[in-house]
């Protein structure tokens, strides 16, 4: 065997549908090129399964460039695998050893029900965004990009929050399946900018209420969410979310 290929044992979660029982199924995959991405390795597995007349493994993917957040997998118990600040699609097989057993499963959270195999329904995030993660603008010509000055320090904070790709790794890594890092990023990126101030109160109240309605757990500040986040979004945004929420509640009670 070449030093640039691997023989692997894959333990993959198989579940035909949301209302059926799932289980791990074991597959042998030989000659995996170490230059492949993790998703390319799964493509090879599916080609092998199809050739053998078996159902391919369903998994989410889109851009395969670490941007879209679709490639949501738990790999040996770690969200997106062993590399820090890396999505599953940007994880390469050189990070694994010949003969290694790799366990692959979907996000585990009540708010992310399994659709099939490794695919989960993350539409809860969409509903949270729809509840307030936007700014209203007047119709007509676009305003000049420089008409509202934004200090550099605030711009950096906003961009750090806006880096969130909504993959759900923070939820999957959290022992409580909390969505606080995701929600705080979406609140924070607008709270620090003047464009987000008109709807500041309604935004945080609406998004937190929807987060609770979706069944996400509470935050207990273990920071595992930050460690698992491929965009390395800081837990400092959770502190800002808490401040924004307390201000909004105090203002709403007046």
- What is the pLDDT, as a whole number, of residue 171? 98
User: In angstroms, rounded to a whole number, what is the distance separating the alpha carbons of residues 226 and 52?
Assistant: 41
pLDDT value of residue 137: 74
- Phi then psi for residue 29, to 5 deg, are -130, 120
Do 103 and 35 lie in one domain? The reply is: yes
Q: Are residues 74 and 152 in the same domain?
A: no
Q: Which stretch of 80-89, 193-202, 214-223 has the lowest confidence by average pLDDT? A: 193-202
**Cα–Cα dist 11/44, whole Å:** 15
Judged by DSSP in three states, 155 sits in helix
pLDDT digits (tens, 9 = 90+) for 99-119: 999 999 999 999 999 999 999
**What's the whole-number average pLDDT of the chain?**
94
User: What mean pLDDT is predicted for residues 82-102?
Assistant: 97
pLDDT at 146 over 80: no
Looking at the structure, tell me whether residues 95 and 140 fall in a common domain.
no
The domain boundary, picked from 77, 100, 115, lies at 115
In a shared domain, residues 26 and 55: yes
- Please tell me whether residues 46 and 62 are part of one structural domain: yes
Domain boundary among 66, 98, 115: 115
| Residues 173, 229: Cα–Cα separation, whole Å | 9
- Cα four-point dihedral sign 87, 92, 94, 100: positive
Residues 170 and 69 in one domain: no
Domain final position from 88, 115, 142: 115
- Work out the average pLDDT over 57-84: 96
Are 135 and 228 found together in one domain? yes
Q: Please tell me whether residues 103 and 130 are part of one structural domain.
A: no
The answer to whether residues 10 and 108 belong to one domain is yes
Q: How confident is the model at residue 88 (pLDDT cuts 50, 70, 90)?
A: very high
Question: Any idea what the CATH number is for the domain that residue 25 is in?
Answer: 3.10.20.30
Q: The domain containing residue 132 runs over which residues?
A: 122-252
Q: Are 97 and 195 in contact (CB under 8 A)?
A: no
Q: Is pLDDT at 1 greater than 60 in this prediction? A: no
Could you give the number of structural domains in the chain? 2
Provide the pLDDT for residue 100. 97
Q: Residue 129's CB: how many other CB atoms inside 10 A?
A: 16
Query: What is the full DSSP assignment across 41-91?
Result: HHHHHHHHHHHTT-PPPP---S-SSSSS-----EETTEET-SSTT--GGG-
Please indicate, yes or no, whether residues 140 and 60 belong to a single structural domain of this protein: no
Q: How far is CA 22 from the centre of its chain?
A: 22
């Amino acid at each position: 065997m070449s030093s640039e290929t691997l023989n692997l044992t894959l333990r993959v979660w198989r579940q035909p549908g949301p209302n059926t029982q799932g289980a791990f199924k074991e597959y042998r995959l030989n000659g995996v090129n170490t230059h492949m991405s993790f998703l390319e390795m799964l493509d090879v597995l599916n080609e092998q399964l199809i050739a053998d007349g078996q159902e391919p493994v369903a998994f989410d993917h889109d851009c395969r460039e670490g941007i879209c957040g679709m490639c949501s997998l738990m790999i040996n118990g770690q969200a997106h695998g062993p590399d820090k600040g890396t999505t599953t699609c940007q994880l390469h097989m050189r990070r694994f050893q010949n003969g290694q057993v790799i366990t692959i499963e979907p996000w585990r959270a009540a708010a992310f029900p399994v659709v099939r195999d490794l695919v989960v329904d993350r539409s809860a995030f969409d509903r949270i965004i729809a509840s307030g993660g936007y700014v209203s603008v007047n119709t007509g010509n676009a305003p000049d990009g420089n008409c509202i000055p934004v200090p550099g320090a605030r711009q950096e904070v906003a961009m750090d929050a806006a880096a969130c790709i909504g993959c759900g790794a923070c939820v999957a890594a959290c022992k409580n399946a909390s969505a606080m890092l995701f929600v705080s990023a979406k609140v924070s990126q607008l709270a620090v900018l003047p464009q987000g101030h008109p709807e500041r109160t309604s935004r945080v109240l609406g998004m937190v209420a929807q987060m609770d309605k979706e069944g996400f757990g509470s935050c207990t500040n273990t920071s595992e969410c930050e460690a698992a986040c491929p965009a390395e979004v800081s837990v400092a945004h959770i502190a800002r979310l808490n401040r924004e929420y307390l201000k909004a509640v105090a203002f709403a009670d007046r």
